[in-house]
Amino acid sequence: MSIFREYDIRGIVPGELNEETVTKIGFALAGKIDGEYVAVGYDARMHSPELFGYLAAGLNAGGKTVLAMDLVPTPVNYFANYQSFEGKTPSASVMITGSHNPSEYNGFKITVAKAPFFGEQIYALGDEVAAMGLPPKAETRIIEVDVKARYIDYMVEQFSHLKGMKEKIVYDCGNGAAGVVVPEIFSRLELDARGLYVDPDGTFPNHHPDPSVEKNLADVKAALAAEGDIAFAYDGDADRIAVLTKKYNIKGDQMALLFSMGMENPTVIGEVKCSQVMYDTLKARGATPVMYKTGHSNLKVKIKELNADLACEVSGHVFFNDRYFGYDDAIYGTLRMLELVHEGIDLDAELDKLPPVFSTEEIKVETTEQEKFPLMAKLGEMLQNPPADFPAISEIITVDGVRVIFENGWGLVRASNTTPVLVTRFESPDLEDAKRYEKALNDLIAEAKKALNE
């Protein structure tokens, strides 16, 4: 059951994801989908084509016909939900991907009726899979569709005004799925672009495909310093992006501030980990900022619910509902960032205008799957009556974990939905205050742990 997670299904191949399990997942999922056609694509991992075969067999056994995309980035998979192929319109899509996990992992990101399939839906699917026997054998019904070419054509058409931009672009595909679309888009737009690790290779021989980890950006930073004006890096399935100038590694909440510049009074959704600077700056500009839960599935649902223009996570998931379909797409985000540059916006100068703050990266506190939610409940209880020497609390926001607003900054503690850890982050305009808030909340977490175990 551990493979059935809040936002997707993910596990080790073949120990957790094998022929029996994956076929059952396909069969059970077929029962949740109205309509005949399910679009399925996969990432660059060595076992992805094998898992495709197992999943397709399960979907076929459940009465579905598979529209096979082969190797594509996750955003291309999402894009398929808005297309029709000679009258064959997908009612759902499944992306076979381990995202930024190590190469032995793989998994499934599921979209049903253009909405993410997640949370209780995934847990209920897991219960069903655990209880069922092997599905019946069925006739193979797989139709090849070229979603990749249609996606590339769409991007080239939407961004034709960027043709011949003079800026020198460096990009790092990390041997992931981005490599099957980004070079052709850049080439057809006649951009001066140099790619690193473009060829898909599921062993990820050059570096781990996670651009939110600084060490994975070393090569693209070196190339940017030597011969570039702007750089981009993608995770394994290209739904997360890193944007780099020679001065800044631009985080997702900073990207939201840049992207929203060209929108009139936009509604912008941020996760609870986003900087207060983002929320305050958006409000000062006349935008409507909304704080919401972490998680790409949560944000996709919220952006549609509010008909918001934009949403972001600090880690580089950026969701465009303005001129796009409301899902996270690092390739589309690349082109929107280049559009800003093309329009004459100096990215560094805009970021220089923001008030300086000291922000920690995500700091993880080890716990267990069984303990993490009771620990959060105990912490919330203790924050209602904190120790006498605890920094003064102005407000507690509980949209996702606890975001404690202090007099000169904030601290966040939330239970990860995917791993046995609490995730913390701290921010203040004053470094000493940021450290003080970090120590105070960590001490209280330790006290809550102790109280739980007594």
φ and ψ at residue 369, rounded to 5 degrees: -60, -35
Burial class (CB in 10 A: 0-12, 13-18, 19+), 446: exposed
How many whole angstroms separate alpha carbon 76 and alpha carbon 146?
A: 10
Known active-site residue 317: yes
Residue 426 in 3-state DSSP? Answer: strand
Rg over CA atoms, the chain: 22
Known active-site residue 99: yes
Tokens 């073949």 correspond to 14
**DSSP-derived pairing of the beta strands 37-42 and 92-96:** parallel
Q: Is-cis flag, bond preceding 116, omega within 30?
A: no
- For 197-317, strand residue ranges (E) read 230-234, 241-244, 249-250, 267-271, 288-292, 310-312
Cβ–Cβ under 8 Å, residues 312 and 253: yes
278: left (phi over 0), alpha (psi -120 to 50) or beta: alpha
Q: Is-cis flag, bond preceding 49, omega within 30?
A: no
Tokens 């839960």 correspond to 293
- Residue of 5, 10, 240, 414 marked active site: 10
How many whole angstroms separate alpha carbon 133 and alpha carbon 415?
A: 34
- Residue of 317, 336, 403, 436 marked active site: 317
Residue 229 in 3-state DSSP? Answer: coil
How many whole angstroms separate alpha carbon 113 and alpha carbon 90?
A: 8
- Residue of 48, 99, 359, 428 marked active site: 99
What sign has the CA pseudo-torsion 15, 20, 22, 28? negative
Orientation angle between helical segments 252-259 and 276-284, nearest 10 degrees: 10
Cα maximum dimension of the chain: 69
Known active-site residue 212: no
Catalytic residues: 10, 99, 317
